[in-house]
Amino acid sequence: MVALRTLAPPPAQTVDVLVAVRDLPSGTRLTDDDLVVRAFPTDLAPSGAAIAPLGRVLAAPIGRGEVLTDVRVVGPGLALAESGETILPVRLPDAGMASLLRAGDEIDLVATDPGTGSSTVVAHDVTVLATPTGVPDGPAGGSGGALVVVGATAAQAVEITSAALSQFLTVSWDH
């Protein structure tokens, strides 16, 4: 028995990480009930493991037992996942439209002038990073619509924000 203990490798170094208790959809605002601390071998724990995510919103779905990292929640860490892109919240005037989107979708943003009815594409192939949950269909609330977080180039971000000030934004998908 002493010989076996002497020959056995030392226990692996571990680090505490937060993992999902159950499958969680994008848009979930994280609570104590969603996450649990687990010890992971140091060499297997992902870099960027989230350390203070309570109250933050998931940018993408996460599976039961999956380690939560900063690139999975809306915030500065999300920008690291989309290198070279600007992370931009976009208000869509119809919350039902926003509910059709999923994180990872590649969409075009189209602006329509309410006075003339003319439409133009203001950004091609932007990536949906986070979508809302629990919003009713159609125009909603005092400010209306729903926020969707997208990754866009800096030039697209300027076009999108300019259009959003005076026009209605909608989305389209390419095949």
pTM over the 0.85 mark = no
Q: How does pLDDT run across 96-152, given as a tens digit for each residue?
A: 888 888 877 889 999 999 889 999 999 998 888 877 766 555 444 435 788 888 888
Average pLDDT, integer, range 19-27:
87
Q: Report the percent of the chain where pLDDT is more than 70.
A: 82
C-alpha separations of 10 from 35, 36, 38, 46 in Å = 29, 26, 20, 22
The gap from C-alpha 120 to its chain's centroid, in whole angstroms, comes to 26
Q: Are 131 and 99 a contacting pair, CB within 8 Å?
A: yes
Average pLDDT, integer, range 24-50:
84
pLDDT, residue 98, reads 85
pLDDT, residue 40, reads 83
pLDDT, residue 58, reads 81
- What are the residues whose beta carbons fall under 8 Å from the beta carbon of 92, sequence distance 6 or more? 98, 145, 146, 147, 148, 169, 170, 171
pLDDT, residue 140, reads 45
